[in-house]
């Protein structure tokens, strides 16, 4: 199977998204959307959902930002930075919605900068260090596939704000998945060294798959994408044995706290500062 065929197949259902620049559409996704919590929607549960989705995105964006000046090519540096900006944009909208409905009135900065690691609810796959380029790309493929499946279902959520955020995110995540799939095929079907590293990356990501499927059951969608891409790349499907614990309950790796210290350092050193 050619890599072009893989990308075309993965892009099915998103043909109208002709942008290259990763979600840089200029329409406000919440313009005209009623922000009142609909009858029958539990505000607390809605806020919790928004925060967990935002935490996933924020931590992933921070890891992607670490590739700035370090990516193997300038084009990939720009691409990874823009994907990170997409996720950061999703996090901002979701944190804002959480603050609207949880009764606290907190803004996005309060969630991002003034919570400790134990209060974050992101999946642990997002916080693991970048490793080499192959690991980051394989992680992006898994994360984007899983999040895309989640957001596609959330477009029908009863809360119109969350549904609008998800609809915007679907277009962005479809490209993230396509970009990662392209690179996994290139690396897996490339040199002996790139093949070895990509195979190792799949093995390293595999233990975190169980947590993703527990946090949100997108097993069929993610497995289908991984099977399609690994076959095209000449790579084996990862076999996973789930790790105990879950980031959703605040059980994180030792890597999250240092990541947050870097992310939050300026805001905590100068609280309430404005520029």
- DSSP-assigned letter for residue 189: T
The answer to whether 130 touches 66, Cβ cutoff 8 Å, is yes
For residue 87, the domain's CATH number is 1.20.1260.10
The pLDDT assigned to 28 comes to 66
**What's the pTM value of the predicted model, to 2 decimals?**
0.89
Would the pLDDT of 123 be above 60?
yes
Q: Is residue 22 domain-resident?
A: no
Q: Is residue 56 domain-resident?
A: yes
With a pLDDT cut of 70, the percent of the chain lying above it is 89
pLDDT in tens, 231-259: 999 999 988 878 888 999 999 999 999 99
Q: Is residue 29 domain-resident?
A: no
| Nearest alpha-carbon partner for 212 in 149, 134, 119, 135 | 149
Q: Is residue 274 domain-resident?
A: no
pLDDT in tens, 196-233: 999 999 999 999 999 999 888 899 999 999 999 999 99
Compute CA distances 226 → 73, 120, 159, 202, 215, whole Å.
Answer: 25, 28, 31, 10, 19
Q: Is residue 30 domain-resident?
A: no
Report, as an integer, the average pLDDT of 85-93: 97
Q: Is residue 195 domain-resident?
A: yes
Number of domains composing the chain: 1
Report, as an integer, the average pLDDT of 36-64: 96
Q: Is residue 21 domain-resident?
A: no
Give the chain's radius of gyration (CA, Å): 18
Show the domain range for 102. 3-14+37-269
Instruction: Identify the band that residue 192 occupies on the pLDDT scale cut at 50, 70 and 90.
Output: very high
The whole-angstrom distance between residue 17's C-alpha and the CA centroid of its chain comes to 19
- The C-alpha torsion from 211 through 212 and 217 to 221, rounded to 10°, is -140
Alpha-carbon span 122 to 115, nearest angstrom? 13
pLDDT in tens, 146-189: 999 999 999 999 999 999 999 999 999 999 999 999 999 999 99
């Amino acid at each position: 199977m050619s890599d072009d065929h893989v990308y075309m197949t993965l892009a099915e259902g998103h043909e109208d998204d002709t942008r290259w620049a990763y979600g840089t559409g200029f329409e406000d996704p919440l313009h005209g959307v009623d922000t009142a919590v609909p009858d029958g929607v539990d505000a607390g549960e809605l806020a919790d959902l928004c925060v967990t989705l935002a935490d996933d995105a924020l931590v992933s964006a921070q890891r992607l930002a670490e590739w700035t000046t370090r990516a193997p090519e300038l084009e990939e540096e720009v691409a990874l930075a823009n994907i990170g900006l997409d996720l950061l944009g999703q996090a901002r909208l979701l944190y804002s919605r959480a603050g609207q409905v949880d009764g606290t009135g907190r803004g996005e900065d309060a969630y991002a900068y003034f919570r400790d690691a134990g209060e974050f609810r992101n999946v642990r796959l997002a916080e693991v260090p970048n490793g080499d380029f192959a690991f980051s790309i394989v992680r992006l493929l898994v994360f984007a596939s899983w999040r895309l499946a989640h957001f596609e279902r959330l477009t029908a959520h009863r809360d119109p704000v969350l549904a609008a955020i998800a609809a915007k995110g679907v277009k962005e995540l479809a490209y993230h998945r396509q970009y990662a799939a392209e690179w996994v095929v290139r690396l897996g079907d490339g040199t002996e060294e790139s093949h070895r590293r990509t195979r190792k990356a799949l093995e390293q990501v595999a233990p975190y798959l169980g947590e993703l499927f527990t946090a949100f059951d997108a097993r069929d969608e993610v497995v289908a994408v991984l099977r399609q891409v690994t076959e095209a790349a000449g790579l084996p499907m990862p076999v996973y044995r789930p790790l105990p614990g879950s980031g959703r309950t605040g059980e994180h790796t030792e890597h999250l706290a240092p990541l947050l210290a870097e992310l939050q350092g300026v805001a905590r050193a100068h609280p309430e500062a404005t520029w």
